[in-house]
Every structure is written in C-alpha cells, then in structure tokens.
C-alpha cells in the first residue's frame, strides 16, 4: 500500500471520527472531553491531507505544518483528558512545546537546520506530550475510570516509546538509505492512524465509565451531604454482619439525631437548615475513623457503622460526635435585616452493639433507635447505649 493511500485512509478515518466526536459532544454534554478530542482528530486529518498534497505545494511547508498539526492533536488530546478528570484544559507546558517546534521550523525554513534534526525534534516533542498525558492519567484518574485510564495511558506510553525510537533511528543514521526512510515513514503513518483509533476507543471507554460511576454515586449518596443513603448503608451493614458472624468480631451502630432541628427550619429557613446539616456532616467525618461508614437515615438523622467497635469503644466515638456537634457554630443570614448570625445545635446519640450470631441489623437498628429516644427523653444532647454493662457511663453524656 502506497504512502498516499495510507494518508488518504487516515484523513478519511480521522475526518469521520472528528464529525462523530463533535456530534457526540453537542448532543451529550455529560461526556466530557469529546469536543477537544474531536479537535484532535480534525488536526490529525488536516495533517494527513497536507502530507498527501506535498507534491502539489511546497514539500517543506507541508511537512512543517504537518508536524505542528500532529503536535496540536496531542495537545488537544491532553486537553480532552484534563477536562475528563476535571482539571483545567490547557497548561503553559503546551505553549513551551509549540515554541520549540516553531523555532525548529523557522530554522529549517532558513536552512539552518537539517531535515534529520527537524524530524528528531518533532518526534521528541510528540513523545514528550504523549508521556505527559500518560503521566496525568496515571496520577489523577479517579477510581471509577482506573481500568480504561490505564489502557489509554498504556497506549500513550507505547506511542511515546515509538517516537523516541523513531528519533533515535533518524539521529543515529539507521535509515540513511531512501528505501529504509520510506519504510520508516510508512510505519509512522500506520502507527499514527492505529494510535488515533485506539485512543478513540480508550477515551470512549473512559467517558462512559466516568458517566456510569457518576450515576452510581448519585444513586448511592444523599445529594446534599454526599453521605451514603439508607439503601447503601444497609448494604455495608449486611457485609459487616456477615463478617462478624463468621469471625466473631464486634461492631456497633450509632443513630445521631439533631435536637430541635425543626425550629432551625421554621425560624431561619431551609437554606439555613441545609447549612447546618452540611456543617454537622463535617463534624461527623472528623469524629470517626477511615473504616467507619456514615449514612443519612433521613431528615436530620444520621447513622454510623463502627466495624470492630465494642459497646465501650462505640460510646467513646458517640461522645466525641456529640461534643464536636455541640461546639459547631454555623453562620447564617440574620432573620431580620442584613448581617449574619451564628447558629448552634446539639445532637442526641443512640448506640447498639452486636450481641452475637443471633443478632441482626434490623434488631440493632431498633435498639439504637430506642436508645436515641431514651437520650431525647433524658434531656437531649447526650449519649445512651443499649448495652447493660454501661449504665454508669450514660450520665457522662451530659455537658
């Protein structure tokens, strides 16, 4: 297959890919990065057309513009990746690459640089940009897209290695003969086309995986507090129950309810109530371990799963939660006129500890709820446990 045929196929494939990607970007804005990737394909298609027309326009200019367009395609691909992982699309790094490429092209036009040096510089810059994009994917990809991000980063590393090898082959004179150079050019065209198609697949995989992960997160978390909803929290509880029954380990559940929260909404409005809930969730997160699981049970009521925690350990955690919430100060808009006033809230906490193989999550939640209402009945802003061995600790819940 001749070089012209390969370039024609590349231009057609990349051009069609560009139109398809731009159509996807317009019709589905949730698939981030598609517009930038469509621009990358457009740059690649234009570069292929320029190389094809080298015999009709100044050959040197067609090669130089093609080098710039290939580099532009890699930079636009990097912008697509940055947008996909929710980082700024462009960085000063790209400007530096174009500056070096521009200086190299200017030297070639003025005869100050040989074609061999120009090829080496272009290949090294392309390799550098591909490597940087692979590094960003490897370091910053979120958990939901790790597999497709690894696949795409691997493609970029292979492309980087090929361009490094190409620059070395040209610099060391491994392709001095016209036949070998023609073979290298044909291999380069094929590699660029194959890389573009594989990257398109990898990018589609990443965007769909990200969208799926986002939908899973929306289905599993409370939109205001970003805590697990009741369904997902119970799933974590079932896992811990199975582990405890199998290994005989302890665990506990906490139910946390804000005291007199209705008055916050009635007197200050629901926006102020939401601000209080968000502030309380921050205190909850500060009060527990990394292995503990938080959930929003409903309204102003939260639940906490404490793996491996006995009744005594759970009581200490509950006291820490109660104290941290009591010290929380939430600035909200004043009820009358301008300005800001500070709200303070308290919480009551009920504890239920795992009591053996015959115990279950539903029973534990009922006990935790009963303990919570006992804490409310005893005056609020305190901790109450279902554990009979802790009656002497209950008064310590008072401020």
Tell me the CATH architecture of domain 230-397: 2-Layer Sandwich (3.30)
CA distance 329 to 340: 12
The alpha helices in the chain, defined as continuous H runs, are: 3-27, 34-52, 59-84, 92-109, 115-140, 146-171, 178-220, 230-247, 261-268, 270-287, 311-326, 361-377
pTM of the model: 0.63
pLDDT in tens, 285-294: 999 999 999 9
The domain ranges of the chain are 3-219, 230-397
Per-residue pLDDT for the chain (399 aa), expressed as one digit of tens each?
676 787 788 888 888 988 988 898 888 877 888 899 999 999 988 888 877 775 454 455 556 677 888 889 999 999 999 998 888 877 788 889 989 988 888 887 777 667 788 889 999 999 999 999 999 999 888 877 889 999 999 999 999 999 999 999 888 888 777 788 778 888 888 888 899 989 999 998 998 888 887 777 667 788 888 899 998 899 999 999 999 999 889 999 999 999 999 999 888 888 899 999 999 999 999 999 999 999 999 889 999 999 999 999 999 999 999 999 999 999 888 776 677 888 999 999 999 999 998 999 999 999 999 999 999 999 999 999 987 645 444 444 443
Q: Smallest Cα–Cα separation from 40: which of 30, 29, 48?
A: 48
DSSP class of residue 255 equals E
DSSP class of residue 342 equals E
DSSP symbols for 39-88: HHHHHHHHHHHHHHGGGTS-HHHHHHHHHHHHHHHHHHHHHHHHHHTTS-
DSSP class of residue 35 equals H
CA distance 382 to 399: 8
């Amino acid at each position: 297959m001749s070089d012209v045929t390969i370039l024609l196929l590349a231009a057609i494939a990349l051009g069609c890919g560009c139109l398809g990607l731009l159509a996807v970007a317009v019709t589905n804005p949730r698939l981030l990065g598609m517009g930038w990737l469509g621009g990358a394909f457009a740059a690649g298609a234009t570069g292929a057309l320029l190389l094809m027309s080298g015999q009709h326009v100044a050959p040197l200019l067609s090669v130089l513009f093609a080098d710039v367009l290939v580099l532009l395609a890699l930079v636009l691909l990097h912008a697509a990746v940055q947008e996909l992982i929710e980082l700024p699309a462009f960085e000063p790094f790209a400007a530096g690459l174009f500056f070096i490429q521009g200086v190299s092209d200017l030297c070639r036009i003025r005869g100050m640089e040989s074609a061999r040096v120009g090829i080496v510089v272009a290949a090294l810059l392309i390799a550098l940009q591909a490597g940087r994009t692979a590094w960003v994917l490897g370091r910053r990809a979120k958990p939901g897209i790790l597999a497709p991000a690894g696949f795409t980063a691997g493609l970029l590393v292979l492309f980087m290695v090929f361009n490094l090898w190409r620059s070395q082959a040209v610099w060391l004179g491994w392709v001095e003969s016209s036949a070998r150079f023609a073979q290298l050019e044909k291999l380069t065209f094929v590699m660029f086309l194959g890389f573009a198609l594989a990257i398109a697949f990898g990018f589609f995989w990443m965007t769909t995986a990200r969208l799926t992960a986002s939908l899973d997160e929306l289905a599993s978390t409370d939109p205001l507090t970003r805590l697990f909803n009741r369904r997902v929290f119970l799933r974590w509880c079932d896992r811990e129950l199975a582990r405890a029954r199998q290994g005989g380990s302890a665990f506990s559940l906490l139910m946390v309810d804000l005291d007199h929260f209705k008055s916050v909404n009635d007197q200050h409005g629901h926006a102020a109530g939401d601000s209080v809930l968000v502030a309380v969730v921050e205190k909850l997160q500060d009060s527990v371990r990394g292995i503990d699981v938080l959930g929003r049970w409903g309204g102003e009521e939260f639940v906490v799963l404490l793996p491996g925690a006995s009744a005594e350990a759970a009581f200490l955690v509950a006291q820490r939660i109660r104290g941290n919430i009591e010290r929380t100060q939430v600035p909200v808009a004043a009820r009358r006129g301008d300005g800001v006033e500070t709200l303070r809230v308290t919480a009551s906490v009920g504890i239920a500890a795992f009591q053996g193989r015959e115990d279950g999550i539903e029973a534990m939640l009922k006990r935790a709820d009963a303990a919570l209402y006992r804490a409310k009945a005893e005056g609020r802003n305190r901790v109450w446990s279902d554990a009979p061995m802790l009656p002497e600790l209950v008064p310590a819940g008072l401020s």
